[in-house]
């Protein structure tokens, strides 16, 4: 059975009978994990192993694990600072900031891969305009050049750890104040204004080989009346044709308030898939998941399947088993990276205590 175009979550810390039933549905292709799915490293490894044996080829396993306030697994994992902290260092020393961002990406990927997670939805490529309720210090910087350089460094670190990067939220969520989880944000700027600012980081990262992108649940009415994630104009004409992006397009969560303009859950999924998404996410609503799996009719293309296959976590260059946490902690290089990244964002008083 090939991968399907839907990514769902699971309810708890181990698979229930309902979870397994949903994950075995041919429309499903991936699982996104949340903090509620985590109690310990051993439990997480058992959960991901149980997800991987449900289907062949194994389902993709993803998580929002950016650092700062968006880090789902904390106890037993290295604290990753908010991306803004690397931007602050970039202002003083771009070279040092890029080195630390790459190390953070390596740590993030290596630890998640050691627990069976294929990829994280990171990095955030949004510009920090200082107004957004949901982006905030998740953004590297307000300067597109700083964002591009730091995000590329983080992507290289992720790749080193065996993980593909996912840039978000195309074409830019940083300008609007509203949070698309609870509202329908509207960005009144023209296409040229967006292209000259927010799109620059996406363009550069695409040129640098970005494997995947997640569009924003934001409406840009001067470009299209639909949110970007449901817009053929944004996803096909701009992203695929103008920017020549050939990686995976993941929708943002279809249960978010910013998605309701597209109709019921099946209509939302169809709108996103028809616009150009390869895979749609539906989180925190098992009732809607059942409705979607019952009603959605979609034949995934061979092109989408090939793109999604590249999101599976990579083994090391010798095709050996992914290093576990014991092996990582016995590595002097990894330990040094953890120490250096652990100092990022700490105050002088914190550093003195450390």
**Which residues are part of a known binding site for substrate?**
64, 72, 138, 168-169
From the list 272, 127, 252, 250, the residue with the least C-alpha distance to 189 is: 127
Choose, from 252, 253, 278, 312, the residue flagged as catalytic. 252
Give dist(CA 310, CA 313) in Å, integer. Answer: 8
Residue numbering of the annotated binding site: 64, 72, 138, 168-169
Active site residue 141: no
From the list 127, 108, 116, 143, the residue with the least C-alpha distance to 31 is: 116
Give dist(CA 75, CA 269) in Å, integer. Answer: 35
Give dist(CA 249, CA 167) in Å, integer. Answer: 10
Give dist(CA 42, CA 203) in Å, integer. Answer: 39
Number of alpha carbons in the 13 Å side-chain half-sphere of residue 271:
20
Give dist(CA 14, CA 44) in Å, integer. Answer: 9
Kindly tell me the burial class for residue 340, based on how many C-beta atoms sit within 10 Å of its own C-beta (0-12, 13-18, 19 or more). middle
Active site residue 319: no
DSSP-assigned letter for residue 229: G
Tokens of 298: 């979609």
Element (H, E) at 130: none
Choose, from 52, 181, 290, 324, the residue flagged as catalytic. 181
| DSSP track, 240-280 | IIIS---SEEEEEETTSGGGGGG-SHHHHHHHHHHHT-SEE
Give dist(CA 103, CA 140) in Å, integer. Answer: 15
Catalytic residue IDs: 181, 252
């Amino acid at each position: 059975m090939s991968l399907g175009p839907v990514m769902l979550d699971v309810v708890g810390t181990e698979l229930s009978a309902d979870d397994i039933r949903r994950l075995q549905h041919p429309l499903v292709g991936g699982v996104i994990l949340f903090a509620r799915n985590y109690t310990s490293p051993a439990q997480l490894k058992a959960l991901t192993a149980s997800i991987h044996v449900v289907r062949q080829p194994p389902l993709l396993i993803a998580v929002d694990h950016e650092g700062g306030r968006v880090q789902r697994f904390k106890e037993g994992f290295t604290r990753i600072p908010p991306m803004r902290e690397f931007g602050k260092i970039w202002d003083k020393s771009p070279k040092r900031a890029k080195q630390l961002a790459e190390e953070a990406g390596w740590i993030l990927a290596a630890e998640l891969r050691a627990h069976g997670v294929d990829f994280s939805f990171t990095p955030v490529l949004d510009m920090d305009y200082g107004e957004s309720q949901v982006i905030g210090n998740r953004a590297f910087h307000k300067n597109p050049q700083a964002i591009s350089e730091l995000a590329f460094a983080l992507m290289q670190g992720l790749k080193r750890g065996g993980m593909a990067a996912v840039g978000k939220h195309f074409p830019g969520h940083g300008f609007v104040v509203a949070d698309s989880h609870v509202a329908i944000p509207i960005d009144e700027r023209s296409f040229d204004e967006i292209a000259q600012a927010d799109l620059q980081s996406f363009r550069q990262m695409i040129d640098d080989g970005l494997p995947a992108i997640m569009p924003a649940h934001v409406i840009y009415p001067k470009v299209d009346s639909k949110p970007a994630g449901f817009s053929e104009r944004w996803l096909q004409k701009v992203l695929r044709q103008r920017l020549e992006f050939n990686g995976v397009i993941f929708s943002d969560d279809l249960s978010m308030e910013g998605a309701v303009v597209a109709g019921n859950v099946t209509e939302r999924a169809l709108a996103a898939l028809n616009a150009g998404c390869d895979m749609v996410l539906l989180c925190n609503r098992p009732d809607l998941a059942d409705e979607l799996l019952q009603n959605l009719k979609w034949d995934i293309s061979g092109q989408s399947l090939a793109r999604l296959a590249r999101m599976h976590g990579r083994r090391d260059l010798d095709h050996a088993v992914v290093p576990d946490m014991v092996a990582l902690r016995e590595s002097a290089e990894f330990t040094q990276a953890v120490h250096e990244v652990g100092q990022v964002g700490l105050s002088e008083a914190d550093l003195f205590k450390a």
